[in-house]
């Protein structure tokens, strides 16, 4: 079977997909990860095909544009991020489409890769909600070669105080 894991999320969304994808790959399935450019190396290290939602330049321009970060529903956010993300997702799904394709997409507003796959190719699609912050130390992230984010550092500090 073919699996496409699609997420516009952060490390807490991506790493579970990478771990599941690596297990599926070990069982002989084809697995692709559609995510932000920064997860390409970890995907490839775990034997997954990787498709980047955006270039590093596009991502950094978006992060530094305060108008875009004001709200994820703003017209500017939709124009500069949501439309291109969905376009990449649709092209990837079209390339992988077949009766044996399963699309798992993280439940995020405005990202509809799974619905597109189901509507246009009758592909099995699953919308999931995951967010697994790494709370204790850096061990979980270092396994994947990724540094802790500021949010994860704050969560770890709060966890230690309790």
Q: What domains are defined for the chain?
A: 2-131 (3.40.50.2000), 132-162 (no CATH)
Per residue in 7-59, pLDDT (tens digit) is 887 788 888 899 999 999 999 999 999 998 889 999 999 999 999 988 777 76
pLDDT at 138 over 50: no
Q: Is 146 exposed, middle or buried (0-12, 13-18, 19+ CB in 10 A)?
A: buried
Distance CA 73, CA 85 (A): 14
pLDDT at 159 over 70: no
Please compute the mean of the pLDDT values over residues 125-134 and round it to a whole number.
Answer: 72
CB 9 within 8 A of CB 30: no
CB atoms within 10 A of CB 4: 29
Distance CA 102, CA 83 (A): 22
Distance CA 112, CA 150 (A): 28
Per residue in 59-114, pLDDT (tens digit) is 666 666 655 555 555 666 667 777 888 889 989 999 998 879 999 888 777 788 88
Distance CA 68, CA 36 (A): 17
Q: Per the confidence metrics, is the pTM higher than 0.75?
A: no
Per residue in 141-156, pLDDT (tens digit) is 555 555 566 666 666 6
């Amino acid at each position: 079977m073919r699996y496409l894991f699609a997420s516009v999320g952060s490390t807490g969304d991506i790493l579970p997909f990478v771990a599941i994808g690596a297990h599926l790959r070990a069982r002989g399935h084809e697995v692709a990860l559609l995510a932000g450019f920064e997860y390409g190396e970890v995907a490839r290290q775990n034997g997954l095909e990787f498709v980047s939602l955006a270039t590093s330049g596009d991502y950094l321009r978006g992060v530094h544009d305060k108008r875009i970060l004001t709200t994820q529903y703003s017209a500017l956010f939709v124009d500069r991020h949501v439309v291109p993300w969905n376009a990449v997702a649709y092209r990837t799904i079209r390339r992988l489409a077949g009766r044996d394709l399963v699309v798992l997409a993280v439940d995020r507003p405005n990202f509809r890769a799974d619905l597109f796959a189901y509507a246009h190719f009758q592909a099995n699609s699953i919308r999931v909600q995951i967010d697994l912050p790494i709370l204790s130390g850096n061990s979980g992230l270092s396994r994947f070669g990724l540094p802790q984010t500021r949010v994860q550092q704050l969560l770890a500090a709060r966890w230690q105080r309790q």
